[in-house]
Structure 1
Amino acid sequence: MSEQISLQAEVPVELGGKRLDQILAQLFPDFSRSRIKTWILEDKVTVDGEVFNTPREKLLGGESVAIETVIEAQREYEAQDIELDIVYEDDDILVINKPMGLVVHPGAGNPDGTVLNALLHHHPEIINVPRAGIVHRLDKDTTGLMVVAKTIQAQTHLVKNLQARENFTREYEAVCNGTMTAGGMIEKPIGRHATKRTHMAVHEMGKPAITHYRVAEKFRAHTRLRLRLETGRTHQIRVHMAYLNHPLIGDQLYGGRPRPPRNATQGLTEQLREFKRQALHAIKLSIAHPITGEKMTWEAPVPEDMIKLVAALREDTKENPDLTL
């Protein structure tokens, strides 16, 4: 499958003097600047019937511009009948509640069996959208809400909002090691770890990363948190919490090994030992609908494993009210 794109417009006089790529980006906001630039370079753009292939060329205003091209479908991925927990769906987007253990996008070690493969089965036309409409990701063992674009137009607007940090809010529930006394903001850049290629780390040459957090509940030696992402770097919450010396329970990659407090109840000891993933859940997602602009919010219930973990932490704290370590 492929999608035929045919666009035409007259350049408003007030845009005269601007570059061709800037003008087209304003005239056709459903498509990204990088995609439009590629079309210009591939001779897909005409101005008054003449091919223009220089993105920086300036127009006077009043010209007739046209784009004629075909978006080829991505054929390297296979549609697979994998069940999706769909929270919401319309013609433009769908929102899913991702379970633990499901990878979002194929990659090294996970060539298939991913959210992307499931999306291709559920909505075959999504093959025409780059990355099958995926605009943000959750780690394999992080649960919770993700929004997916079903059209190029929807994807373009969602990505713009995400990059502008506008009309796109993601909140998480987490449980970390150690007792935190107050919330705050972590503003530390994140990039690839210097020696461990599967790890991310805080370092000066990384990309800007901002995480807001507040204390939701305190236990003897652990803390339940509510976090909000302002940026979306790989492993961002996990890296930032480890940087604060409060790694998430179960996060073996970033130091979240089991740390039972003194005289821990048997129930808590077992829960900590058996909790094999990072205690992180994308609990709330709020966006402006990419086509209608309507403000929309969804919440996903905390999964059973985290409910049991928090229950054990509460019981341990109740059983040992005078012990804080």
Structure 2
Amino acid sequence: MTKQLKLAEIVPDHLFGKRLDQVLAEMFPDYSRSRIKDWILADWVQVNGRVCNTPREKLMGGEAIQIDAQLPDDERFEAEAIDLTIVYEDEHILVINKPAGLVVHPGAGNPEGTLLNALLHHCPTIAEVPRAGIVHRLDKDTTGLMVVAKTIPAQVHLVDAMQNREITREYEAICHGIMTAGGTVDEPIGRHPTKRTHMAVTTSGRPAVTHYRVMEKFRAHTRLRLRLETGRTHQIRVHMTYINHPLVGDPVYAGRPRPPRKASEELLGIFRSFKRQALHAAMLRLAHPITSEIMEWHAPIPDDMVQLTLALRADTEEHGLDFA
């Protein structure tokens, strides 16, 4: 299903000489440049009553613009009463602390019970926003902070900020192996050449940059703080695996559990029961999409990662660091 959108305005004189797509982006800032370009190419834009499907056509100012476009209708997804941990909310944005196990968007195998379904119930008007305001994702079993746009103007600004790397996202993770120092992984990520549900570092992938620093060393593991410059699918998980430090519990990239040698039964039990990647979106900082106020949120480390950290710390105090 789709929604019909009708817009009509006169081109201001100060936009003289600019291209049609640039003019429309300035006249209708609630909509993204890519969406406006799609409207032009779909013959949905008229200039002085004439269909214009050339984004580069120059305008003189004073033209009458009419847009008859169709927007995808996200209301085809059902609203569901799913509990959300809301960290911050105003009329424009919503920041949540996502639990493990919650899928962000409906898809194959997950038609319901997702964050999107929960958002439609919590804020029904968010159905008017593309993808119910979801501008970035966390993997199903990654916990932590996500920002959601409640209005189209907020969504447009947040998407632009994300693309321009103006939103800071920091994570905590526990990886296999002892890291000696922090660093940066700057390697492109794309679909795995043979495992289509996996991602991998590949020359044909999209640019991806992950910064990391060591927070704590254990006997055979390391606790990390990571900051993303880009937001590729599985980025941290793939980059850490690429440098031979996959995340503890990662069911896709880490393989079998690898507890330290001579680990206690308690620690062995924690490793056996840790069925998700040890990854948490701990900090989110951005300029508010409407007021431009710099805002920052922190989400406490979830109980399962706290338990794992305490057990690894106790193991290290008992045995010392293992450099073998």
TM tier relative to shorter chain: over 0.9
Q: Rate the CA distance shift 1:150–1:274 in 2: closer, same or farther, 3 A.
A: same
Query: Match of 1:38?
Result: 38
Deviation at 1:195, TM superposition (A): 0.8
The Cα of 1:256 is off from its aligned counterpart by 4.7
In the other structure, the counterpart of 1:294 is: 293
Cα distance, 1:235 vs structure 2: 0.3
Corresponding residue for residue 27 of structure 1: 27
Q: Deviations over 1:6-42 (max 9, x none)?
A: 35243344x3332101221123222111211233344
8 Å Cα contact 1:11-1:65 kept in structure 2: no
Which residues of 2 match residues 116-127 of structure 1 at below 5 A? 116-127=116-127
Q: For residues 201 and 36 of structure 1, what CA distance do their matches in structure 2 show?
A: 33
Cα deviation per residue 1:65-113 (whole Å; 9 max; x = unaligned)? 3545564532321111111111111111101100000100011111111
Aligned-partner residue type, residue 139 of structure 2? D
Aligned partners of 2:8 and 2:64 also within 8 Å: no
Q: What CA distance in whole angstroms lies between the structure 2 residues aligned with 1:260 and 1:193?
A: 28
Q: Distance in 2 between matches of 1:290 and 1:141?
A: 28
Q: TM-score, normalised by structure 1?
A: 0.93
Q: What is the aligned-residue RMSD (CA, Å)? A: 1.9
Q: TM-score, normalised by structure 2?
A: 0.94
Is the aligned partner of 1:307 residue 2:313? no
Matched, 1:218 2:199: no
Contact residue 11 and residue 23 of structure 2 kept, 8 A: no
Which digits, 9 at most, give the CA deviation of each residue in 1:149-195, with x for residues without a partner?
111111111001101112x1111000000000100110000000011
1:277-314 C-alpha deviation (Å, 9 max, x unpaired): 10000000111111111111111100000000000000
Match of 1:283 in 2: 282
Unaligned 5+ segments in structure 2 are none
Equivalent pairs, count = 323
Cα displacement string for residues 100-157 of structure 1 (whole angstroms, at most 9, x for unaligned residues) = 0010001111111100011111111111111111000000000000001111111111
1:195-216 CA-partner distances (Å, limit 9, x unpaired): 1111000010001000000000
Whole-Å separation in 2 of the counterparts to 1:16 and 1:268: 69
Query: Any stretches of 5+ residues in structure 1 without a counterpart?
Result: none
Identity in percent: 66
